[in-house]
């Protein structure tokens, strides 16, 4: 399931999955460099925040339901959606002028979802299809002319290609009875990566042409490989696997070669939520720790020891890079509220960004062009 469709409160599975108790390692955190502590060298100055590019979309429960909001790095907020359905932020269009939103509503005990395109200039929302029980994990083509998503329009779960306009036909890219999930369009737009149940019945990573033809299997293992993400140069894929009987983030070339765990020997709890830096040189990821805590790390894409950016005494997760790669926004409940925080890419200057009552989470940072 997409993290954007998991409940994110103190008692929901987005915050309180059951994880095995694992020893907490601090490799890569030498000389006291763990983001210089939970509060960094704190807080970022107003002038530094004004110089940060772009805007951050996020999900907020401050109104008693899930709505999409926008916030600038200086803290200026604007509510983008107002229900009555629960609405989750998807990725912004490549030009940053519209946001994909997943609308979710309950009818007779069943959840129905709909992808909608919401212009940021206040124009009307554009529904991309009729409500259905599965429509999520969207990914844009680089030119914004099309996108892919999970869909159950013609099967349990297929990857489909859609146009960002109402009433347009969909092109199924996969047709596998056991399901395909979590598509990601390559930076060139020529290929799509996705997780798909293999002939052996376990999820593996596949890559196909943008029209769904010539699929090739990238991973081969008897456990689960999922959530593929392209590097900015299109040469690598990151993904999460439990092949070591624990969740770890791996990196592999798009032809299936040179597979390895990103954190090397420095495993520090179940890993997930990996994100490539805009220059492709680093990845940030989250390790889940005992007692419901989590910690944010950054690691060189070429290999090396991970550096802990937060100290593991809180739930810190869902990191997203600034468009220039100099900062991260993340989610924390260190002040007894679930809020967004900013920090420099080295973990310093950790600063609370949202302060309203009610959980704020699922941030995405983008710029308008």
Query: What pLDDT, in 10s, does the model give residues 301-324?
Result: 998 999 999 999 999 999 999 999
* Backbone φ and ψ of 41, nearest 5°: -90, 10
State if pTM tops 0.85: yes
At 268, the pLDDT band (50, 70, 90 cuts) reads: confident
Band of pLDDT at residue 78, cut at 50, 70 and 90: very high
pLDDT of residue 369 exceeding 80: yes
Across the range 191-218, mean pLDDT stands at 91
Distance, in Å, from the CA atom of 236 to the CA atom of 242, rounded to the nearest integer, reads: 19
Q: What pLDDT score was predicted for residue 315?
A: 95
- Cβ atoms within 10 Å, residue 272: 18
Give the whole-number percent of the chain exceeding pLDDT 90.
73
Per cent of the chain over pLDDT 70 is 88
Mean pLDDT of 112-134: 94
A 10 A CB-CB count for 130 gives 9
Poorest-pLDDT segment among 196-210, 297-311, 323-337: 196-210
pLDDT at residue 265, rounded to an integer: 81
The residue among 54, 60, 91, 92 whose CA lies nearest residue 74 is 54
- What pLDDT shows up at residue 300? 96
∠ CA 304-305-306, nearest 5°, is 115
User: Rg of the Cα trace of the chain?
Assistant: 19
What pLDDT, on a 0 to 100 scale, did the predictor assign at position 25? 27
Residues 362, 4 contacting (CB under 8 angstroms): yes
If one counts every other C-beta atom within 10 angstroms of the C-beta of residue 294, the result is: 24
- pLDDT tens digit sequence for 164-195: 999 899 999 998 888 899 999 999 999 999 99
Mean residue pLDDT across the chain: 87
Q: Is 48 helix (H, G, I), strand (E, B) or coil?
A: helix
The pLDDT, as a whole number, for residue 35 is 42
Q: Rounded mean pLDDT of 285-302? A: 94
pLDDT tens digit string along 6-32?
Answer: 333 333 333 332 322 222 222 333 322
**Backbone angles phi and psi of 292, in degrees to 5:** 75, 10
- Region 141-158: mean pLDDT is 93
């Amino acid at each position: 399931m997409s993290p954007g469709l998991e409940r994110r409160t103190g008692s929901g599975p987005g915050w309180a999955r059951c994880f095995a108790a694992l020893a907490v390692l601090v490799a890569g955190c030498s000389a006291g460099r763990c983001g210089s502590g939970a509060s960094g060298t704190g807080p970022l100055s107003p002038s530094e925040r004004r110089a940060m590019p772009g805007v951050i979309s996020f999900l907020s429960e401050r109104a008693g339901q899930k709505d999409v909001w926008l916030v600038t790095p200086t803290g200026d907020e604007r509510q983008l959606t107002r229900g009555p359905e629960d609405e989750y932020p998807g990725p912004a269009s490549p030009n940053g002028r519209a946001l994909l939103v997943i609308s979710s509503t309950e009818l007779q005990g069943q959840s129905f979802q709909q992808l909608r395109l919401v212009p940021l200039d206040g124009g009307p929302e554009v529904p991309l299809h009729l409500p259905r029980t599965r429509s999520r994990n969207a990914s844009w083509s680089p030119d914004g002319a099309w996108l892919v998503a999970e869909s159950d329009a013609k099967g349990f779960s297929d990857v489909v290609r859609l146009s960002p306009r109402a009433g347009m036909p969909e092109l199924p890219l996969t047709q596998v009875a056991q399901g395909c999930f979590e598509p990601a369009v390559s930076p060139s737009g020529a290929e799509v990566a996705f997780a798909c149940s293999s002939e052996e019945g376990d999820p593996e990573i596949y890559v196909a042409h943008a029209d769904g033809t010539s699929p090739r299997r990238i991973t081969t293992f008897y456990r689960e490989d999922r959530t593929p993400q392209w590097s900015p140069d299109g040469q690598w894929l990151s993904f999460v696997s439990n092949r070591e009987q624990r969740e770890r983030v791996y990196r592999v070339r798009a032809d299936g070669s040179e597979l390895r765990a990103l954190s090397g020997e420095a495993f520090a709890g179940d890993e997930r939520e990996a994100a490539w830096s805009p220059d492709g040189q680093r990845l940030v990821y989250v390790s889940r720790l005992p007692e419901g805590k989590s910690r944010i790390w950054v690691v060189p894409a070429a290999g090396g020891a991970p550096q802990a950016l937060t100290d593991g005494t809180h739930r810190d997760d869902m990191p997203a890079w600034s468009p220039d790669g100099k900062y991260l926004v993340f989610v924390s409940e260190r002040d007894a509220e679930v809020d967004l925080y900013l920090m420099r890419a080295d973990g310093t200057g950790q600063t609370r960004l949202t302060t309203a009552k009610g959980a704020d989470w699922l941030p995405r940072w983008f710029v308008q062009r």
